[in-house]
Each structure stands twice: as structure tokens, then as C-alpha cells.
Amino acid sequence: MAQSIYMVGVLIGSITFGDLSDRFGRKVVMFVAIVLNLVSGISTMFAPNFTAFVILRLFVGVSSLGIYLVNFVLACEIVGPSRRTLVGTVDYVFFVLGYMLEAGLAYFIRTWTHLQLAISLLSVLWLPLWCVVTESPRWLLAKGRTDEARVIVEKMAKTNGVDFPDALWEKMVESKDKLAETPDNGRFYSVRDLVRTPNLAKKSAIVFYNWGVITMVYYGLSLNTSALGGDDYINFFLSGLVEFPALLMSIIVIEKWGRRSPHIMFMVGGGVACICTLFVPSDLFPLTMTLAMIGKFGIAASFNIIYIWTGEIYPTVVRNLGLGVSSMWARVGGIISPFLALLADSWRPLPYIVFGGVSVLGGILCLMLPETLGAPLPQTLEEAEDFGKGGSLLCPAGGHKKPEDTKELEADLPDTSPSVDATNAMTNPSFYLSFETGL
């Protein structure tokens, strides 16, 4: 129950903090989330009863998602377009590091109150970063605060030894002004638009199902490592460790073979591995653990792919809306996952059979989605309805080859960080907030 309430908080946080950061800025809202996480986390130790405990866990969930969400957006917005994949990857790496560190902390700190205190106090380390982290120049520009945005971008350019001519800034501001002109006469789009037409409704249903299943299985496998046998702490640590190769492989294959085939491969392969635990005797722990980690590998890789794929399936006019609704379905899956993990009390392999079955079904359903690699992204609902038509289950319509030269579909800030590599990216203070969120 407490874990499900935590996931309800994550759902609330995904809705509230996204809107708050759009209204009041990334930096302020991110640090509000940090303070809320610190206060609610420490207060959990002193909860007088179970009701107070779950309420505080709700706020921990709200603030944890707020930290991760706003931190991710801020990290992506302070670099140029060519660095966003790297930024997203490094951000996720720190999340996984936090995940793995929790196993070590739990091993040495056996009292849950002391463990909760140790995790919560990490938030104190991030408070001095207020003096280091800048506001998003993109957000400032969108709010018309161009002078403040320019100061930040010039500082970034100077730090990285990049020239920043006035003409480039003026051109970028003009591009942003043009984007502010709405070609659809300011039409307001709602969730109904995601399912208004048959083809788009079909794609939305499959996408929503995959988001819910991926999150449900991801947290279900993470929470159910104690049912595998062996050492609980090592199992939990390995469950986080396996995400590193999963992340790396997913990045490589989606650029070479597209989004559709790798996603299906990871979903079906991971699901089959989970189902195979049914046939393993309980005394063969190493084999059971291996199959469970293959399942976690597949679902972690799918998690990375579905983010990118969803943004390319939906048209520009409802892209953020589509991602937002998909994220809500993901939280629903997260709420359900703790209850499915309890099925192990009745029969040890049962949770893995359920996780495997829904994963395989999710992969099969994706045969009806289009490939998006190299395809012109849809801009309108009409284009989205036509996108993917005319293909078959084995030969999807859409893109197949990555174009040699693709341009940003939106005007963007100039890339003032050409010298950023994996090492320099890790010095970005905001990434360490993902480290704590993984805890």
C-alpha cells in the first residue's frame, strides 16, 4: 500500500511540477521540490501512525518526481540540440547510480528509519547548488526575459570558449518570435484529439499500453528481487547494474535499426525470459536470477526507446500532450506494480509470468506502429492520421534509413557547448539530482 501511495505521488508530481516549472521557472521549482523532498523524507521517520506515514510517502513521491522531471528539462535546455541525447543519457546514468547505491546503504544501515534519514539528508548537499545552477535560458526567452537569457548564454559561451556574435542572437530571437505565431489560429487541443481519428486512436492505445506495461514491469521487477532467492542486497544491486548495458545497447540499435524493431525485440525477449522462470526449479537460483535480469535488461532498454518513439509518433500540435498522457499511464502502471509483486506469496513464479505476458503482448502490439527513424515527423493531426498507413505488420510504413542531414523542426538556441563530452557533462550540478532521485 505504501509503495502504491508513493507512485500516486509520482503521478501527482508529474502533473503539478511540469506546470509549475512552466509558470515559475525551472530553477525555483526544482529547488522547491528538493526542500519538499528533504522535509517530507525526514518527517517520515517520525510519523505517529500508518496514515501519517503514507501521506508523507505521498509527498516524497511528489517531490522525487518533481526533482527528476524539472532537473531533466533544465539539463536538456542548457545545451544545444546536438548534445541532448548525451545529456539524457548521463542524466539516466546518475539515476541508476543512485539506484545501485541504495543497495549498499541498505546493507550497512539495517534500520529503516536510519536508512530513510541517510537518503533524505542527501538533499542538503544540493541546496548550495542554488549559487551554481542557472535558470533555463530557453524558458527565460519564452517568457520574454531576453536580457536575462542572453547573459546566461553569453556566460556559457565564454566558459566553453565559443564566439557568440550579436547576429546569431538576433536571428535566434526572430525565429522564436515566428514560432509564437500559431498557424492553427490558437486552437486548443485536448486528450480527445489523441483518439479522434481511427489510425491515431489505434496508435495512442498501443502507446499508452506500452507505457503502462513498461513502468509496471520495471518497478515490479525492481521490487520483487527478494523473491528470486539468494542475497536480497546483491539482487537489488544487480537489478540496477543491468540497466547500464541496456541503456548503451538501446542507444546504439535505435540509431542503426530504428525504433520499432529494437523495441519489439526488447519487449518480447525480456518477456519470454520472465516467463521462462516458470520452468526453473527453485534450487537453481543462478538461472532464475539470470532470466530475471534478462527481463530487466529488456524492459530497461524499452523504457529508453519508448520516450523517443512516442515523441516522434505524435504530431507537433499534440506532441507534449501525447507525452504527458503517456506518462500518466506509466504512473498507473507504477501504482499497480507493488500489488502484482505480492503474487509471489501465492506462487513464486506468478509475478514473472504476469510481467512476461504483458511485455510480450506489448511488443506484439507494436507491430502495428510505424517506424519513425528518418521519417518526416507529422506536424498536424491530419498528417498524424496518415502517418503509418499503407504498411504491413512486417513492413511498416514510415522511415527506415537515418537521413544524412536532418534539421531541427523548431528554432533553437545556438549550441554554446561544443566542447561538452561525457566527462564534462558529468560536471553539470543538475545531474547529481538524478543520482538522489534514483535513491
Residue 299 maps to a domain = yes
Helix (H, G, I), strand (E, B), or coil: what is residue 408? coil
Domain identity same for 277 and 373: yes
Domain identity same for 248 and 318: yes
Domain identity same for 132 and 242: no
In degrees, to the nearest 5, what angle opens at C-alpha 413 toward C-alphas 411 and 418?
125
Domain identity same for 239 and 376: yes
Domain identity same for 319 and 418: no
CA 288 to chain centre: 28
Count of domains in the chain?
Answer: 2
Domain identity same for 112 and 230: no
Q: Going residue by residue through the chain (439 aa), what tens digit of pLDDT does each one get? A: 777 899 899 889 877 887 788 888 889 999 999 999 999 999 999 999 999 999 999 999 999 988 988 887 888 778 766 676 677 778 878 888 888 898 889 989 989 899 999 999 988 988 998 988 889 888 888 788 888 888 888 888 888 888 777 777 777 676 666 555 544 545 677 888 999 999 999 999 999 999 999 999 999 888 777 767 778 888 889 888 999 999 889 989 988 899 999 999 999 999 999 999 888 887 788 898 899 999 999 999 999 899 889 988 988 778 878 888 898 899 899 889 988 888 888 888 888 999 999 999 999 999 999 998 888 888 888 989 998 776 656 666 655 554 444 444 344 444 443 333 333 333 344 444 555 555 6
Residue 169 maps to a domain = no
Domain identity same for 148 and 276: no
Domain identity same for 387 and 418: no
Q: Is residue 378 a contact partner of residue 407, using CB atoms and an 8 Å limit? A: no
Residue 202 maps to a domain = yes
Domain identity same for 296 and 325: yes
CATH number, position 370? 1.20.1250.20
Residue 171 maps to a domain = no
Q: Which domain holds residue 108?
A: 1-164+414-439
Q: For residues 295 and 353, what is the distance between their CA atoms, to the nearest angstrom?
A: 11
Domain identity same for 392 and 435: no
Domain identity same for 13 and 82: yes
Helix (H, G, I), strand (E, B), or coil: what is residue 398? strand
Q: Where are the alpha helices (DSSP H) in 224-259?
A: 232-241, 243-257
Domain identity same for 266 and 390: yes
Helix (H, G, I), strand (E, B), or coil: what is residue 369? coil
Q: For residues 358 and 344, what is the distance between their CA atoms, to the nearest angstrom?
A: 17
Residue 243 maps to a domain = yes
Instruction: Tell me the whole-structure pTM to 2 decimals.
Output: 0.76
